[in-house]
Structure 1
């Protein structure tokens, strides 16, 4: 699905490494360094933190970047942003190289638990779960797709006892951060301009995505703005990109404020635990490790957890906030018994729906010459390297199980003009974790053929998984089990989604390319009739594709909700001075890619902090320890 993930290395091989190239390369590097120091988008400076700040934000990912930006708008507040990883690099700027960054040191390299119900085509039955360990977080690794979710998602949040989180309440926050540069959307009442985050279509695409949109129309779905009044329909994907390059949340929200005197960033700073006074039950700081040295930083006002749906609950449990029985078993004193780590939700998709075409219209690595392609990207901000990780089209459709109005679709399609094997097969196999048997039997034979893919995705799974500590060692990766396909309704819904995807591929707009389904059955599914419901179920359990959207592990809810961890103002129940602002707080997962909703949560959460402290100007008198 990603585009030409080997292009960068191929380009460098084309250049060569002879000594004749050293002088211009050195000159170019020095020139770039001098330019970068004056660039308004140049990188933030890593500091050794002071002893105390007003606010300490843990996690420099999507939400943390937004929160740090908005809190430092108050000149009298000083803010420290702690990030466990390093800064992003030039490779991460290239949209088509999204796959290339996974399983690197920018990635926590998490894996789900083996359950025997999903990920059966992956090694040891475990799906890879990339999570960004880098400034900008997963917005540095993701496919940059800008999808807000459905208005009914947020109205549902409010109906669960969370006032202020309805669609009408959160829409202004979506618009606030947005700088939409698509001409046909710039005057829409559903979009904003002038915000920190640049939204636009990729400047390059294949003719296959036009056929995808036309096919949707033929099936009765409108070509519409899926982030507008209605979500159901087909659309050329909008991406969080700027001038053909990735616009990570660090680039969007942190680089523009790097010279604010009240803003500090500490990179390579791994949080170990939240410091909480057991007598007052107040969070007053964070213990972390930087450059191999254990350190402590104090927070005069609040500690804000923005470490994401895996690391936020992990850190809370390590600090004594979580299910009492689990913490006792690990020898961690329980300060507050809360269902931290429960309510885990993720979007799971069925991989493997591939269609061959007779015309050279898809992305095939052997067709492109690395050096001209790279120069087209570097000099003109155009070409295949601007593709959103290879995803060109998005759609939201209704299965027979969707709501009667048709306005809250239950399946999403990601359309890509490539097959798993056509974009650096060995790398993709490694990233997806496919077994040799599945990859060699099914995908390798079409590695040099034109093909395209639809991936049906389950928008609102019924199952709820969990994140739990494996040990009290903060460096031990936690247990992550999304419990994919344990609910038969989820299976049935995705089967119906696959059937609709086939109808899209069989529509007349694709006939001009000689498009037809790749009929090679998966080796462990040969006992089922090909394309039957049982076969589709086997396929989704074999190639279970996470779209990397874990949420919900510190659920927002009213005080009477026994599953809630934070209140509707995102304050942790029973712990003063501690707030969670990230994907963890979602009561139910948003219907679509989650990066944009997390930005919204960061925007709204920042305003909640400003409101809560608006009358507390004498913060210097507060005693925390």
Structure 2
């Protein structure tokens, strides 16, 4: 009798259970619990970061948390497909605040056409004019005010002052001025192509994550909000076509949380994986994996999108080394239109940085990355063929020939920038990065790596030609960037071998009209055909915005929180 009682899960009742304490989950927990009659449970599988115990590497205004494996799921993904590209580690956060606690802190909204496109695709009420109030409400923009910006929101946003830019960013701006590209001081309000100052999450002293902004001491003190970390959702509970709650494994034992609504905010890789394992998805796939079909939604796990990237590297000479601000990651970016057939306005970007990682060697390396901001290719998240615990992630980044062409064009534009006299005087021979595993061993923050990288960096400063040799060992075999671009076939082979997704996974449970067979949720985030279940993260994006996804996810969570509270009223 006592043994049976010990294995019986506790049962608790809530109005809302939020599965995932990432960027979106923290917003929802705050906004829904602000109504004192709502009982809210927030479940996070990773470490909690209460205000008195935020780890130093998460607070760091340089994103040193990016390389801490303690904050990441051990998920791998294929840049192309299972059959033609290896599975490489992916950046998918497992910590309170999710990606906002480990990402590069860039806070771009995208462009108005992104959201007007969502509405045109069936996400009614998600056009630019409808989402702008939520972008305003969530932010405290320290630089800009007026009708496009907010000053009272919980999320601080700033830009580095031009006089504080490192030499590489200043040189790029000189190239822009000489070539007639406008300077975009406010990339979240001025949507022209040009060379822009990147908006960043937080003041100069620390990172602002979703957890620090929305789960403050005052919010955590609410009696109607329960936060459980180091816990994982095991299974949804259903009564016919209604989701009635979820079974959760906690450090104290199993819990059955019954709820009016269950809201899944696990991110665009794990949300579809969780739904598929619950029998919510394409019946053909589910049956092939022996999963009972509980609700047929063919679109679950399809429409995966990401911003595809390549990397060009060069040794930064002493005059180009970033001296201030010391704890800075990114300063500026070029937003541009490829002009290729099938491309759209502002479909590309060229990012540049003079500090790619935490250590001294990285401060001697210039980085230039062509990025596809409006991808045409689509991938998928599906159940793994081996039946393992991690999803099969296939980004299929070159599924569209347009994307291959845009990356090739982006490499030529990168060459034009690095050979411009303003930039060329700061760097050595540029190479197309290919063998980055040669540098990956230095990413772990250890005393030994600190000592080794300091010694190597000192030698790179002092020994003529050593910097180019070090960087050359991270480049594609056969020469520098210029040599590569002289051979069209070699460029195509290089792109296929080296294109990589960045941490902007989106689209795998997309919003749409209820009659759309591939839509997973309606414009209120409700899973079509089921009661009591919503999705409220980057999964619901019909298309990925032309910017980093963290700020749009905050907006989505704010807007869906408001929709839930309005429906409740």
**Shorter-chain TM-score category?**
0.7 to 0.9
Distance 1:525 1:53, change over 3 A: farther
The 8 Å contact of residues 10 and 255 in structure 2, kept in 1 or not, is answered as no
The 8 Å contact of residues 61 and 204 in structure 2, kept in 1 or not, is answered as no
- Which aligned pairs between 1:476-515 and structure 2 lie closer than 5 A? 476-511=389-424, 513=426
Deviation per CA, 1:330-360, whole angstroms, max 9, x where unpaired? 2221111112111111111011x12344433
Q: In 2, distance between residues paired with 1:358 and 1:322?
A: 53
| Deviation of 1:105 (Å) | 2.3
Tell me the C-alpha RMSD between the 2 structures: 2.8
Which residue is 2:337 aligned to? 398
The 8 Å contact of residues 392 and 417 in structure 1, kept in 2 or not, is answered as no
Deviation per CA, 1:590-623, whole angstroms, max 9, x where unpaired? 1110000000100111111112221xxxxxxxxx
Which residue is 1:549 aligned to? 504
| Deviation of 1:116 (Å) | 7.1
The 8 Å contact of residues 63 and 104 in structure 2, kept in 1 or not, is answered as no
| Deviation of 1:450 (Å) | 3.5
- 1:92 partnered with 2:58: yes
Distance 1:534 1:592, change over 3 A: farther
- Which aligned pairs between 1:80-229 and structure 2 lie closer than 5 A? 80-88=41-49, 89-98=55-64, 100-102=65-67, 104-113=69-78, 115=80, 125-182=86-143, 185=144, 187-202=145-160, 205-224=165-184, 225-229=186-190
Distance 1:143 1:250, change over 3 A: same
**Partner of residue 453 from structure 1, selected from 363, 367, 373:** 367
Distance 1:528 1:194, change over 3 A: closer
Deviation per CA, 1:485-542, whole angstroms, max 9, x where unpaired? 1321110011112222222333343255366534845128999952234343333333
- Which aligned pairs between 1:6-17 and structure 2 lie closer than 5 A? none
| Deviation of 1:329 (Å) | 2.2
Q: In 1, distance between residues paired with 2:294 and 2:423?
A: 60
Which residue is 1:30 aligned to? none
Which residue is 2:381 aligned to? 467
Which residue is 1:261 aligned to? 223
**Partner of residue 333 from structure 1, selected from 279, 282, 292:** 292
Question: Which runs of no fewer than 5 residues in structure 2 stay unpaired?
Answer: 1-8, 50-54, 433-471
| Deviation of 1:402 (Å) | 6.9
Q: In 2, distance between residues paired with 1:138 and 1:119?
A: 28
Which residue is 1:569 aligned to? 524
Deviation per CA, 1:348-396, whole angstroms, max 9, x where unpaired? 1011x12344433324xxxx9xxxxxxxxxxxxx8412x1xx2221221
- Which aligned pairs between 1:233-272 and structure 2 lie closer than 5 A? 233-255=194-216, 256-272=218-234
The 8 Å contact of residues 71 and 606 in structure 1, kept in 2 or not, is answered as yes
Equivalenced residues, count:
509
| Deviation of 1:103 (Å) | 5.6
Which residue is 1:621 aligned to? none
> TM-score scaled to structure 1, two decimals?
0.76
Q: In 2, distance between residues paired with 1:314 and 1:103?
A: 24
> TM-score scaled to structure 2, two decimals?
0.83
Deviation per CA, 1:436-495, whole angstroms, max 9, x where unpaired? xxxxxxxxxxx588441210101122211111122797x701110011213211100111
Distance 1:266 1:562, change over 3 A: same
Find the residue that maps to 1:112 and give its secondary structure.
Answer: strand
The 8 Å contact of residues 469 and 479 in structure 1, kept in 2 or not, is answered as yes
The 8 Å contact of residues 370 and 411 in structure 2, kept in 1 or not, is answered as yes
Find the residue that maps to 1:568 and give its secondary structure.
Answer: coil
Q: In 1, distance between residues paired with 2:194 and 2:502?
A: 20
The 8 Å contact of residues 187 and 199 in structure 2, kept in 1 or not, is answered as no
Find the residue that maps to 1:289 and give its secondary structure.
Answer: strand
- 1:346 partnered with 2:306: yes
Question: Which runs of no fewer than 5 residues in structure 1 stay unpaired?
Answer: 1-47, 369-381, 426-446, 615-625
Deviation per CA, 1:374-421, whole angstroms, max 9, x where unpaired? xxxxxxxx8412x1xx222122111122789x8x21111221014x6x
- 1:53 partnered with 2:18: no
